Amino acid sequence: MKKVLTGNEVVIEAALASGATGYAGYPITPTTEIMTEWEQKATKNKQQLLFIQSEDEMAAGFMTCGMIIGGRKAFTATGGPGNVLMQDPLSMAESLRLPLVVIVGQRGGPSTGSVIYSQQELFLSAWGGNSEGYRIVYSASNLTDLYNCVIKAFNVAWTYRWPAIVLTDGYLLKTENEVDIMPPKKIVSSYPLMVKKTVRDTSNESEYVNWCNTYSTEEDLYVFNKTLHQDFAAMTKKIVEYEIYPQMRKTMIVAHGLIAASVKEALLNDQNCFLFRPITINPFPVQEFNKCAAAVDKIIVIESAYNQLIRVVKENLQ
């Protein structure tokens, strides 16, 4: 079905299609309309949908984590300085393996900077916080792609129990255009993560899961991080995504998000270049990228940031 929607409305459509029933958030441009659209939906359907406006983005992240622990499929959205505050709950979500879904409307920095557009939150989103980057990061390039990325984020988050982030920006979120809205082929159900029963029976504590988020020694934390690293690596091949457009040629352009969409348009009048678009920024499609890199004469990286995607490309070039 085709609908005319803004990007913010697309996020809501995709979240509802994925079975999301909870949202906690704090208003910040360019993602404020995600919050206000969800609030309107929740007001009309209080029996099924939950909405909480928090005092800041850190609280929003932790409130969303609380919903998730209780078994509710929930998400939040932020951008710019709010994404900085979101790193604390995201790091905890990595540690506790919480399927926290976050929509990031990237803003140009430093600090408040530009409130509409940039790709300067790639590193912050993928590897921010006091962590090793155990989070899945998608980058959407158009409205239909945004719809699909949000659905994928919910599914992989709840399948593999990792936080998942969808990178977007103000141009994409505030653009209104025709979008292909298709029912998801697969929806992964949510479930309570800490309790097996909704009413606590203190005489049978085996019914409850006890998580550790604080470690007394470096040795214990090392063992724990090693397990996280192994689990994340084992999942990588199952979820990594990329796109080649239109086909292999002598010069490879690497771009993601809205820039990748612009490159596609430019390539309509070019016969020498092709686009390699990482759909998953983390994990990065290392093998597929290097297979293409070995067959080209030149690699060009285009991004709306000074040194982020190109760092990822250089680190993964073999």
Same domain, 152 and 247: no
Encode the chain (318 residues) as per-residue pLDDT tens digits: 899 999 999 999 999 999 999 999 999 999 999 999 999 999 999 999 999 999 999 999 999 999 999 999 999 999 999 999 999 999 999 999 999 999 999 999 998 888 889 999 999 999 999 989 999 999 999 999 999 999 999 999 999 999 999 999 999 999 999 999 999 999 999 998 987 655 656 666 566 777 888 899 999 999 999 999 999 999 999 999 999 999 999 999 999 999 999 999 999 999 999 999 999 999 999 999 999 999 999 999 999 999 999 999 999 999
Same domain, 109 and 247: no
Q: Does residue 52 lie within any of the structural domains?
A: yes
**Cα separation, 73 vs 91, whole angstroms:** 19
Lookup: tokens for 142? 């158009």
Q: Which whole-number Å values give the CA distances from 185 to 42, 139, 158, 242, 304, in the listed order?
A: 25, 21, 15, 20, 33
Among 180, 201, 228, where does a domain finish? 180
> DSSP code of 105?
E
Same domain, 260 and 139: no
Strand duo 251-254 + 273-278: pairing: parallel
Secondary-structure percent of the chain, ordered helix, strand, coil, rounded to 5: 45, 20, 35
29's CB contacts (< 8 A; 6+ apart) are: 79, 80, 105, 107, 115, 116, 170
Same domain, 49 and 150: yes
Q: Does residue 274 lie within any of the structural domains?
A: yes
Same domain, 163 and 248: no
Same domain, 143 and 267: no
DSSP per-residue codes, 9-51:
HHHHHHHHHTT--EEEE---TTTHHHHHHHHHHHHH-TTT-EE
Same domain, 296 and 172: no
Q: Which whole-number Å values give the CA distances from 55 to 76, 107, 219, 297, in the listed order?
A: 14, 21, 37, 52
Amino acid at 207: E
Among 152, 180, 208, where does a domain finish? 180
SS3 letters across 256-300: CHHHHHHHHHHHHHCCCEEEEEECEEECCCHHHHHHHHCCCCEEE
Contact call for residues 291 and 242 (beta carbons, < 8 A): no
Q: Write the CATH number for 284.
A: 3.40.50.920
Length of the chain, in residues: 318
Contact call for residues 50 and 67 (beta carbons, < 8 A): yes
Q: Does residue 272 lie within any of the structural domains?
A: yes
- Please report the pLDDT score of residue 261 as a whole number: 97
- Please report the pLDDT score of residue 30 as a whole number: 96
Q: Write the CATH number for 155.
A: 3.40.50.970
Strand duo 22-25 + 74-78: pairing: parallel
Q: Does residue 67 lie within any of the structural domains?
A: yes
Q: How many domains does the chain have?
A: 2
Contact call for residues 20 and 190 (beta carbons, < 8 A): no
Among 180, 196, 223, where does a domain finish? 180
**Cα separation, 71 vs 55, whole angstroms:** 23
Same domain, 162 and 288: no
For residue 259, give its domain range.
243-316
**Cα separation, 295 vs 248, whole angstroms:** 8
Helices (H) and strands (E) in the chain, counts: 11, 13
Q: Does residue 210 lie within any of the structural domains?
A: no
Residue 89, preceding peptide bond in cis (omega within 30° of 0): no
**Cα separation, 110 vs 112, whole angstroms:** 6
